[in-house]
A = this chain, B = another copy of it.
Amino acid sequence: MDIKAELYLGDCTEILKNIPDNSVDLVFTSPPYADQRKSTYGGIAPDIYVDWFLPITSELLRVLKPSGTFVLNIKEKVVNGERSTYVMELIIEMRKQGWFWTEEFIWHKKNCYPGKWPNRFRDAWERLLQFNKSKSFSMYQEEVMVPMGDWKKTRLKNLSETDKIRDNSKVGSGFGKNISNWIDRDMAYPTNVLHLATECSNKNHSAAFPEGLPEWFIKLFTKPGDWVLDPFMGSGTTNIVAQRMSRNSIGIEIIPEYYEKVKKEIQPVHYVLFEPKPDYEKAQPERRYAIR
């Protein structure tokens, strides 16, 4: 099968109109922050940010599949010693457009920007807002499972006491079945806090987010062959990661320099041989602990 990467140069408000309805599985993007990147994007002032962004989210709502997800990486900046409220207003207005605000993930930055101010500490987190078109959407939770902590070592030895009691106190629904779910597991489901480091020493371009960020959401919300869209492509992190993970992608960028750069880094069509099974099924953990 071939994996495509379609790149467009221009204003995403316009370009998006050419993308068909219900065709995208995941939108992952980090729009220009208000009043930031003045030299490149022209700097959208905080007080007009919501009005500027809403026509775009309206198009995104159209192109997203009903089972798809929109993940918006954003953080309001400090204006005049105070956090702006445009992100709050944006969430409220997007709900009026028809979006469901399913969840707010936190990107807890391991290494945040240094600095010292008299009235605040360093900002070590950003929002990752999850919006959906309907209440039932695709989610592949097993793909992002993480190694369990020390818990497991001690846990599975004690099954005889607590867990029996707790489960026996409830009617029916076998105790044995519940436990058997755990035996074969070295992995646990993650939480809604992502603890990643920002990438610093990059190849010339300063990515707004580390590759681990789109990678995690692409794993979670798409499968190979699905379509991923980033309407504010920037240095192309989302699209590069998507291609590496065998997902089709669309990228839109208004700055010619960025556009050209990504075009050179990415192949328009990339042939891959699909594995018969996704990774998490192949990597079946061994049974190491027995019930006593």
| A interface residue numbers (CB < 8 A to B) | 80-83, 85, 88-89, 91-92, 95, 100-104, 106, 108, 112, 116, 118-125, 135-137, 139, 141, 189-193
Contacts and interface: CB of A to CB of B under 8 A. Distances in A.
Contact of A102 (B83, B136, B190): B83
Given A89-B92, A189-B122, A191-B122, A82 B101 contact: yes
Contact of A123 (B92, B108, B191): B191
Given A101-B82, A102-B83, A121 B191 contact: yes
Contacts of A135: 80-82, 119
Nearest to A104: B83
Contacts of A91: 85, 88
A103 B81 CA distance: 9
A88 B83 contact: no
Given A108-B193, A125-B193, A193-B108, A120 B103 contact: yes
Contact of A106 (B125, B137, B139): B125
A179 to B, nearest CB: 13
B85 A121 contact: no
A104 B83 CA distance: 8
16 contacts: A81-B135, A83-B104, A85-B91, A89-B92, A102-B120, A106-B106, A106-B108, A106-B125, A119-B136, A121-B141, A122-B189, A122-B191, A122-B192, A123-B191, A123-B192, A124-B192
Given A88-B91, A106-B108, A108-B106, A189 B121 contact: yes
A104 B87 CA distance: 13
Given A81-B102, A108-B193, 9 more contacts: A81-B100, A82-B100, A83-B104, A88-B91, A108-B108, A116-B189, A119-B139, A121-B192, A122-B192
A285 to B, nearest CB: 17
A190 B116 CA distance: 10
A57 B265 CA distance: 53
A100 B80 CA distance: 10
A50 B106 CA distance: 24
Given A81-B102, A81-B135, A124 B92 contact: no
A288 to B, nearest CB: 21
A152 to B, nearest CB: 13
A83 B100 CA distance: 8
Contact of A101 (B85, B92, B106, B141): B85
B106 A119 contact: no
Nearest to A75: B104
A108 B135 CA distance: 27
Given A121-B190, A122-B189, A85 B81 contact: no
Contacts of A83: 101-104
